[in-house]
Each structure stands twice: as structure tokens, then as C-alpha cells.
Amino acid sequence: DTGVSQNPRHKITKRGQNVTFRCDPISEHNRLYWYRQTLGQGPEFLTYFQNEAQLEKSRLLSDRFSAERPKGSFSTLEIQRTEQGDSAMYLCASSLALSGTDENPQYFGPGTRLTVL
């Protein structure tokens, strides 16, 4: 088990460009989450998947953000027409969800740090 991996670890882009991040969860985990974290704050929920189904999206997530998990394994998060306010650490996490419980913790990847110039 190699844990949750994310690529790239760092991304610098110019305002208006599109960026895509990848997350590979722990292999047996059926849930995958995306969070955003800015300096001095805790992770902020963006969206999550159970297998390939996207179950919830934060109201904070604008139309410029889209996430996919096409085969229920890895996931991608795309940001279109990036803005300086999108600069943050983007965290991916995975967990094994058992029916009817929320007991299992999430395991986090190292994050992708996005800087929009």
C-alpha cells in the first residue's frame, strides 16, 4: 500500500490557463475526496465520489471546476480559466466507506500546490 498519491506536487500557471490535477487513491478505497486548503485554514470540502459516482459538490465550487473519476479508481480535478484566487493547496483523500457508517477516516495525499500568477 503506497498511500494516496497526487500529481503534480506543484503547478505554476498564468491567469486564464486551464490546469488538471491527478489523484491516485489507496487501491481498495471506494471513496475519493477533493479539498482545498489555504494558508492558516483547514481543508475545505470541494467534492467527493463513491466509486465512479460524484455524490456531492460544494456550493463553493464554481462552474470552472470539474472533477471526474471515470473508472472508480484515479480522479482528475480540472480548473478552467484560472484566477489568482484559485491559488491554494489542493488535497485528495480516500476512504473505505462501509454501508450506513461514517466511522472510517480519510487518508490524505501530499497535495498539489497551485500558484496562479
Which grid coordinates belong to 47? Answer: 467534492
Sole binder of other proteins in the list 1, 40, 99, 100 (CB under 8 A):
40
Which stretch in 11-19, 61-69, 78-86, 97-105 sits in contact with other proteins by CB under 8 A? 97-105
Binding residues among 51-70 for other proteins as defined by CB under 8 A = 55-56
Q: How far apart are CA 117 and CA 109, in angstroms?
A: 25
Which residues does 81 contact at the CB level (< 8 Å), separation at least 6?
A: 16, 17, 18, 64
Which stretch in 20-28, 61-69, 71-79, 98-106 sits in contact with other proteins by CB under 8 A? 98-106
Q: How far apart are CA 75 and CA 52, in angstroms?
A: 9
Sole binder of other proteins in the list 44, 66, 68, 96 (CB under 8 A):
44
